[in-house]
Amino acid sequence: MMKHCRLPVVIASFAISITSIAGEPDLKNIVWEEEIVTDISKDAEPWKNKLADEVSKIVTAGHLAPFRWASTEGDIILEWAHSGQLVRALSMAYPYLPPDLQEKTKTYLRKEIEEYPPWYTGASWSPGNLPVDKGARREWYAAPGLGAMVSKEKDRAWLSTRINAWIQHGYGIWLYARNTGDTETIDKNWQMIQSYFHSNQKMGLSLYSDLAGYIGIARLAKMTGHDDIAYDAENFIKQNIGKISEFDKVEKRLIGDDSTHLKSNSAWIAVFFYLTPETARFIKENSLAEAREYLDSVKIQRPAWFLNPAPGYSGGEISTTPPGLSWPVFQAEAEIFGADPKILQCWVDIPYCKVGDLYYIENLVSLIKAFGKKKWRKL
């Protein structure tokens, strides 16, 4: 039976010995070693079942429309409007699903990738590549104003977890090919994927999520025999990795120097968006103490961060916290700081929407992994 926990509103961070490791990062390990999880205990079974339920709901529903999270007097705020988010989340879940559901998930993702390629790179104002008004609705209730959403989509809608470039989805594309074995789809679309890589290079490498994307491209290229692109991606990381070696500088790129911005904009937690085992490893080896201090400050600002949704507390023009709040905090605790699964399971609330809460799925995956033993293996 799945265990639930009651926690006080203010939660102190668990004790952890923090030592920052100075020096140049070992890029060969960061780029060419993957995380392997073994010996997952039976205590994870209820959460595996929950994960299977959430993925099954998506597969059964078919293509999903973006989630209409909120609407201000001028903006439509969307979540999960880019197909790369779906590919990443379901590819993360894939190894922990029963075999029959794995096959259905692979078929579902292949179709989604064909119709809405995750290597899409849109204009800076674009919330993503998924039409607002096509697909099964994710909301718990009938979303009003869909007509207005469609008319405003191109110039008013925005994605609350949209950051910098779209290159972060390169990791999910690799993970899809890695976990499902579907390299045929990659081969068929390689020219577009190569263009996706080169167009994003112009945006540089300034965030941890960028690093994850370029790692994904390097691995994808090597997997499919495109050694020249694998070399280019690895070399690009080597030339630009210094830009993200200091946590404080990465964080300030997202929130600026105005401390009040921390209270009212989703950018204040974006430093932990799209974490992967590799970027978590990089942070641990370079900025562990700084990341711990920053995450603790976030949890003080939002003491009920793990609730979906929690009261908005302060700042902004909304009464509740966004869907993208519990996700990066949970991911940081699990992937960077190695929180005990007994603690993590107390932070698993309910999905933010009735179907297709991709952040909830990613949190379930990280919880399941926490019940096992993690090690690194060369690709």
How far does the chain reach from its first CA to its final CA, in angstroms? 37
Is 18 a member of any domain? Answer: no
How far apart CA 40 and CA 301 sit, in angstroms, is: 34
CA-wise closest residue to 18 among 286, 297, 338, 289:
289
Dihedral of CA atoms 208, 185, 125, 330 in degrees, nearest 10, equals -40
**pLDDT given at position 221:** 98
CA-wise closest residue to 186 among 95, 242, 113:
113
**pLDDT given at position 15:** 36
**pLDDT given at position 262:** 39
Joined tokens for residue 169: 């989805």
List, in order, residues 6 or more apart from 143 with CB less than 8 Å away. 68, 137, 149
**pLDDT given at position 146:** 58
Is 19 a member of any domain? Answer: no
How far apart CA 178 and CA 217 sit, in angstroms, is: 12
How far apart CA 330 and CA 333 sit, in angstroms, is: 5
pTM, whole model, 2 decimals? 0.89
Structural domains counted in the chain = 1
**pLDDT given at position 312:** 63
**pLDDT given at position 155:** 39
Walk along the chain (379 residues) in steps of 10 and give the mean pLDDT of each run: 49 36 64 97 98 98 89 70 95 98 98 95 67 89 62 47 71 98 97 94 90 98 97 96 91 62 56 96 96 93 86 61 88 98 96 96 98 97
Joined tokens for residue 121: 């790179």
Is 12 a member of any domain? Answer: no
Joined tokens for residue 282: 């990089």
Is 4 a member of any domain? Answer: no
**pLDDT given at position 131:** 85
Q: Is 73 exposed, middle or buried (0-12, 13-18, 19+ CB in 10 A)?
A: exposed
Query: Tokens 């998506």 correspond to what residue?
Result: 58
Is 106 a member of any domain? Answer: yes
Is 347 a member of any domain? Answer: yes
**pLDDT given at position 16:** 36
* SS (HEC) of 60-113: HHCCECCEEEEECCCCEEEECCCHHHHHHHHHHHHHHCCHHHHHHHHHHHHHHH
**pLDDT given at position 126:** 61
The whole domain housing 140 covers 27-378
Is 8 a member of any domain? Answer: no
List, in sequence order, every residue forming a beta bridge with 36; answer none if it has no partner.
Answer: 375
**pLDDT given at position 99:** 98
How far apart CA 177 and CA 183 sit, in angstroms, is: 6
pLDDT digits (tens, 9 = 90+) for 302-345: 888 999 887 766 555 666 778 888 999 999 999 999 999 999 99
Is 117 a member of any domain? Answer: yes
How far apart CA 293 and CA 288 sit, in angstroms, is: 9
How far apart CA 334 and CA 118 sit, in angstroms, is: 26
